[in-house]
Amino acid sequence: MGVNYAKSAYQVYFDVKEHRGQEKSTVMMNTDSYQPEIYYTLDGTVPTMESLKYTGPIEVPTKTTIHAATFRDGKQISPVSEIAIVHFR
């Protein structure tokens, strides 16, 4: 069709809120696209449509790595985003 679009609009970005004094954080994921379908993993693997679907903020323990990607119509449309959550006391 000759249509260009910015793949960066589908890139997953993270907002992490540390729970001081606790060994956990709340993580929010989003993209710049409308109604993104974000799938993520906590075990180091690449996310697929069979991975956990992001539906709202998640609570994770400190020292967690999250991999996430955006999907549409059963296909991955963004590169995999990664964040390592480590808090120092």
Work out the pLDDT band at 22, boundaries 50, 70, 90. Answer: confident
How far is CA 14 from each of CA 5, 7, 63, 74, rounded to the nearest angstrom? 22, 17, 15, 22
Class for the domain spanning 8-85: mainly beta
In the chain, where are the structural domains located?
Answer: 8-85
Query: What's this model's pTM, rounded to 2 decimal places?
Result: 0.86
Short-list 43, 5, 11, CA closest to 29: 11
State both tokens at 77.
Answer: 């449309």
Mean pLDDT for the stretch of residues 21-46: 93
Query: Are 53 and 12 a contacting pair, CB within 8 Å?
Result: no
Q: Which residue has the higher pLDDT, 6 or 27?
A: 27
pLDDT bucket at 7, cuts 50 / 70 / 90: low
